[in-house]
Amino acid sequence: MSDGHSKKTFVVTRFDPDQDAAPRKQSYEVPVHPDWKVLDALNFIKDEVDATLSHRWSCRMAVCGSCGMMVNGEPRLTCKEPLSQYGDTVVVAPLANFPVIRDLVIDADGFMEKLTSVKPWIIRAKELAVEEGPMRQSPAELAEFKQFSMCINCMLCYSACPVVANEPEFLGPAAIALGHRYSLDSRDEGAAERNEVFRGEGTVFSCSFANECTEVCPKHVDPAAAVNQAKLNAVIDWASSLVLPRGGDE
Amino acid sequence: MSRNAHPHAMAPSKPGRTRTAPPQLPDQFPFGGRYLAYTLFDLTGILYVVLGLLALCAVWSLGSGEADWNAVLERNRNLFSVGFHGIALVGLIFVGIRFFGFFPKAQPPHVGPLKPPPKPVILVGLYALWIGVTVCLSIVLAGGVF
- What is the C-alpha separation between B8 and A168, in angstroms, rounded? 6
Ranking A9-23, A168-182, B28-42 by mean pLDDT, the lowest is B28-42
Which one is predicted more confidently, B129 or B142?
A: B129
Q: Is residue B19 part of a domain?
A: no
pLDDT recorded at residue A71 = 97
- Domain boundaries, position B128: 103-146
The conformation of residue A51, written as its DSSP 8-state character, comes to T
**B9 interface with A at CB cutoff 8 Å:** yes
Same domain as B33, residue B92: yes
pLDDT recorded at residue A57 = 97
Residue A247 pLDDT exceeds 90: no
pLDDT recorded at residue A88 = 96
**A144 interface with B at CB cutoff 8 Å:** yes
Which residues 6+ apart lie within 8 Å of A15 measured at CB? A22, A23, A24, A94, A100, A102, A103, B21
**Nearest CA among A57, A44, A52, A58 for reference residue A24:** A52
Judged by CB atoms closer than 8 Å, whether chains meet at B22 and A109 is answered as: no
Interface test with B, best of A228, A233, A237, A244 (most B CBs within 10 A): A228
Residue A171, φ and ψ in degrees, nearest 5: -60, -35
Could you tell me the sign of the dihedral formed by the alpha carbons of B68, B72, B75, B80, in that order?
A: positive
* ipTM metric: 0.81
Interface of A with B in 71-130 (CB under 8 A): 73-75, 93-94, 96-102, 107, 109-113
DSSP bridge pairs for A26: A12
| pLDDT confidence bin for B28, thresholds 50/70/90 | confident
Interface test with A, best of B3, B6, B24, B35 (most A CBs within 10 A): B24
Q: Quick one: what percent of chain A has pLDDT higher than 70?
A: 96
Residue A1 pLDDT exceeds 60: no
**A235 interface with B at CB cutoff 8 Å:** no
Biggest alpha carbon–alpha carbon distance for chain B:
72
Region B47-65 average pLDDT: 92
Q: What is the SS3 assignment for B83?
A: helix
Alpha helices in chain A (DSSP H): 38-44, 109-117, 139-145, 156-160, 162-166, 173-184, 191-198, 212-216, 223-243
For residues A156 and A95, the answer to whether their CB atoms sit within 8 Å is yes
Same domain as B73, residue B137: no
Same domain as B112, residue B58: no
Alpha helices in chain B (DSSP H): 35-62, 66-75, 79-102, 119-141
**Nearest CA among A183, A187, A176, A184 for reference residue A224:** A176
Same domain as B114, residue B84: no
- Alpha carbon B101 to its chain centroid, in Å, reads 13
Q: Is residue B15 part of a domain?
A: no
Q: What is the SS3 assignment for A148?
A: helix
Same domain as B144, residue B94: no
Pick the CATH number of A6-106 from 1.20.1090.10, 3.30.70.20, 3.20.20.70, 3.10.20.30: 3.10.20.30
Instruction: Please provide the CATH number assigned to the domain covering A109-243.
Output: 1.10.1060.10
pLDDT recorded at residue A170 = 94
- What is the C-alpha separation between B73 and A46, in angstroms, rounded? 71
Same domain as B120, residue B76: no
Judged by CB atoms closer than 8 Å, whether chains meet at B34 and A212 is answered as: yes
Region A140-159 average pLDDT: 96
Residue B73 pLDDT exceeds 70: yes
Q: Which residue ranges make up each domain of chain A?
A: 6-106, 109-243
Same domain as B125, residue B78: no
Judged by CB atoms closer than 8 Å, whether chains meet at B1 and A98 is answered as: no
State pTM to two decimals: 0.87
| pLDDT confidence bin for A171, thresholds 50/70/90 | very high
Same domain as B98, residue B111: no
The one-letter amino acid code at A5 reads: H
Mean per-residue pLDDT over chain B, rounded: 88
Chain B residues with beta carbon closer than 8 angstroms to that of A225: 105-106
Same domain as B138, residue B80: no
The count of structural domains within chain B is: 2
pLDDT recorded at residue A217 = 98
Could you tell me the sign of the dihedral formed by the alpha carbons of A195, A196, A197, A199, in that order?
A: positive
Q: Is residue B86 part of a domain?
A: yes
Mean per-residue pLDDT over chain A, rounded: 93
User: pLDDT tens-digit profile of B83-93?
Assistant: 999 999 999 99
Residue A197 pLDDT exceeds 60: yes
For residues A26 and A45, the answer to whether their CB atoms sit within 8 Å is no
Q: Is residue B14 part of a domain?
A: no
User: pLDDT tens-digit profile of A71-110?
Assistant: 999 999 999 999 999 999 999 999 999 999 999 999 999 9
**A10 interface with B at CB cutoff 8 Å:** no
pLDDT recorded at residue A225 = 97
pLDDT recorded at residue A100 = 96
Same domain as B140, residue B129: yes
pLDDT recorded at residue B146 = 67
Q: Is residue B7 part of a domain?
A: no
Residue A248 pLDDT exceeds 60: no
Residue A187 pLDDT exceeds 80: yes
Ranking A12-16, B112-116, B131-135 by mean pLDDT, the lowest is B112-116
The conformation of residue A49, written as its DSSP 8-state character, comes to I
User: pLDDT tens-digit profile of A113-148?
Assistant: 999 999 999 999 888 888 988 889 999 999 999 999
Same domain as B143, residue B73: no
Same domain as B59, residue B82: yes
